[in-house]
Structure 1
Amino acid sequence: MTERRYLDDSSVREFAATVTDVRDDRVVLDATQFYPTGGGQPHDTGVFRTERDEFDVVDVQLTDELEHHLDLDLDGDGEIAGDEALDLAVGDDVVGVVDDARRTAHSRYHTAQHLLSAVLLDEFDARTTGNQLYEDRARLDCEHDRFDDDDLAVIESRLRDLVDANEPVRWYTMDRDTAEHELDTDRTRIDLLPDSITELRIVEIGGDGPRGHCDRDDAAGDPIDRTACAGTHVTGTGDVGDLTITGRETAGKGEERVRFELE
């Protein structure tokens, strides 16, 4: 199984690894910094470099393994087409480079989404039910009948205050059973995770404590937000930058969708 190094340190953009499997245009490594699509956050892109060649990584998906999809032409059967050949084999060493602009945007938006979830729960008792992030915008769905313009202004003002405060962001692992008994499940939303996930990565914002990856013993006693999440994040809310609520719409019966953008 691939060691997912971004879970500990999502600031790293370049890393060395070894190929453990090649599946047509998909490559599995023993370790990676590439984030796969999941949790509303899109996959990373970037390149693999070897002593002989360079390959564009255009998609990353977590199936039975974490697969890096390379930019190669495929035929109707999903196999490499024509005379094109992938000059990569099990045991080859590669250097992976994650696209910095894309990763940074996703990390900023993901932390902003956690802040929005916290504000909606605190101010309107509205639990988050889903989200989708992009490089230039994001949306969040929550349990609420309808937000009016005054509500949106309150939400935006509260978010900007949290960004200006540059609250620390940290993450650590925790046993699922322990988390379900000790943490506020309205915030952690552990119920949205598959039962097969038994160890959780908890992302925490605010309170006394370090920034970035830490031990559970260093967790804050009273954070602004604490959520189960495997995505990438900035280490301080100040890195989110200027945030604007761009609109709302009905996402279904008793559900609202809030859209926002970062500068």
Structure 2
Amino acid sequence: MTNKLYYTDPFIYQWKTEITASENKNGTWEITLKDTAFYPEGGGQPCDLGTIDGIEVLAVRKEQDEVIHILNEKPNRTLVNCSLNKERRIEHTQHHSGQHLLSAVCVELYDIGTVSFHLSNDTATIDLNTPSLSRQQLLNIEARVNDYIYENRKINVFYINTNEASKYALRKVPSGHEQLRIVQIEGIEYNACGGTHVQTTSQIGLLKLMKTEKHRGHVRLFFSCGMRLLKDYSKKNEWVSSIANRLSSPPEKLPEKIEKLLSDNKEASQKYNALFEELSYEIAQKLLSEQEDGPFISTIFDQYSIKELEIIARNITNQSDKTVVFASTLENKILLLHNGTSPLHCGQIIKNHAAAFSGKGGGDAKKAQAFFSDIEQLKQFIEFVTTNLVQAEKIE
């Protein structure tokens, strides 16, 4: 049976030990060690990663009392040097202890229990047994959690027999165990848990509630703490500083500055739309006069979006029964549109023929769009439509 160092000391990151067994399974090696600090995935906490004699550990899992380490190759020696990814372990340990404290405070303040805990490389969440949380509740929870962190309360780990569980205020007693591993935050809670934990609440670092989402009738609460929170703050501080420099504004004035920019942009957009309506009419008139013959008005535009091309096309179809075939090289898209008097089914044209030119899209009888990854094939598709499909695709 593996000696599990992560239970006795979560701050061991390097050690020497012996390989006790190895087996090749489906191209990877499953290794067991006499002693391991690699935590296997469980209880919402991901597994540790690192190296065994310089060989990358891909995953770690538990099988009964053994810890299985998955590697791409077998170490050459029996006595090996092991090394944990220290940053990953610390982040997981901080967040697991942070989750215990956060869940305890939700019960303390509002009698709201935790349904589940999820921890990944990017996020940490708890699902709470409540349909909603107010902004004030979130502020109160966050403040109380950080008060307990500042108080530097001890986090103790000890073992009890299952028949002793009633002596402790455990919210859940795991079944199928003769012994229980208890994690106690002094003066706050007892919890049966097999994860790695810090030694005092201050080692969790600051804890920040990030956002909430509704999830299957519960509230999913996202949080971050410790080293991961510092990295998140540093990244966002760089973004804020960069934006502030670009806008020549102190950071505290950014909300006001951005609101003004949005307002100015909305006003400019309204003016542009009004001017483009006038321009689109002139472009439509010009195209109608230049392409009087045939059932199509067809043009490739380099400067307009497909949304703008639809405005021009509507001006054309309001004045004629022609089918418009427009393309935007800005977006590598085409637009087929008519006023309903044409026998052509725009959507069926796209469905039946665009794929042959590496295009994809859809639409209905009177309007359809398609995207092409290659501009030359887009042009070939337009030529195909305007030369071969005058009566080919009838409206059903």
Q: What's the TM-score once normalised by structure 1's chain length?
A: 0.80
Does the C-alpha gap of structure 1 residues 67 and 88 become closer, same or farther in structure 2, counting only changes over 3 Å? farther
1:242 to 175, 192, 206: 206
1:204 to 184, 200, 206: 184
Secondary structure at 1:185 match in 2: coil
Amino acid at match of 2:127: D
Amino acid at match of 2:74: L
Does the C-alpha gap of structure 1 residues 123 and 102 become closer, same or farther in structure 2, counting only changes over 3 Å? same
| Structure with the higher fraction of residues in helix conformation | 2
1:98 to 84, 96, 100: 84
- The CA deviation string for residues 78-103 of structure 1, in whole angstroms up to 9 with x for no partner, is xxxxxxx63447xx111211111000
Match of 2:164 in 1: 178
> Which whole-Å CA distance do the structure 2 matches of 1:225 and 1:171 have between them?
12
Deviation at 1:58, TM superposition (A): 1.9
Match of 1:257 in 2: 220
> Which whole-Å CA distance do the structure 1 matches of 2:116 and 2:138 have between them?
18
Map 1:213-228; keep pairs closer than 5 Å. Answer: 223-228=187-192
Q: Please say if residues 128 and 219 of structure 2, whose CA atoms lie closer than 8 Å, have aligned partners that are also in contact.
A: yes
- The CA deviation string for residues 123-166 of structure 1, in whole angstroms up to 9 with x for no partner, is 11112221012345310012122111111111111111111111
Match of 1:9 in 2: 9
Q: Please say if residues 154 and 199 of structure 2, whose CA atoms lie closer than 8 Å, have aligned partners that are also in contact.
A: yes
Match of 2:35 in 1: 31
> Which whole-Å CA distance do the structure 2 matches of 1:15 and 1:115 have between them?
30
Q: Please say if residues 45 and 99 of structure 1, whose CA atoms lie closer than 8 Å, have aligned partners that are also in contact.
A: yes
RMSD of the alignment, in Å? 1.5
- The CA deviation string for residues 47-98 of structure 1, in whole angstroms up to 9 with x for no partner, is 112xxxx21112111124310111x2xxxxxxxxxxxx63447xx1112111
Does the C-alpha gap of structure 1 residues 5 and 183 become closer, same or farther in structure 2, counting only changes over 3 Å? same
Match of 2:195 in 1: 231
Match of 2:346 in 1: none
Q: Please say if residues 27 and 69 of structure 1, whose CA atoms lie closer than 8 Å, have aligned partners that are also in contact.
A: yes
| Structure with the higher fraction of residues in strand conformation | 1
> Which structure has more RCO (C-alpha within 8 Å, separation ≥ 6)?
1
Amino acid at match of 1:247: K
> Which whole-Å CA distance do the structure 2 matches of 1:13 and 1:87 have between them?
19
Structure 1 stretches lacking a partner, 5+ long: 73-84, 207-222
Amino acid at match of 1:57: V
Map 1:109-124; keep pairs closer than 5 Å. Answer: 109-124=95-110
Structure 2 stretches lacking a partner, 5+ long: 230-396
Secondary structure at 1:166 match in 2: coil
Does the C-alpha gap of structure 1 residues 164 and 137 become closer, same or farther in structure 2, counting only changes over 3 Å? farther
Q: Please say if residues 105 and 136 of structure 1, whose CA atoms lie closer than 8 Å, have aligned partners that are also in contact.
A: no
Deviation at 1:244, TM superposition (A): 1.1
Map 1:155-166; keep pairs closer than 5 Å. Answer: 155-166=141-152
> Which whole-Å CA distance do the structure 1 matches of 2:36 and 2:208 have between them?
33
Match of 1:21 in 2: 21
Query: What percentage of residue pairs aligned between the two structures are identical?
Result: 29
For the pair shown, the structure with the greater C-alpha radius of gyration is: 2
Q: What's the TM-score once normalised by structure 2's chain length?
A: 0.54
Amino acid at match of 1:2: T
Q: How many residues in Structure 1 have an aligned counterpart in Structure 2?
A: 221
- Answering whether residue 74 of structure 2 is matched by residue 86 of structure 1, we say yes
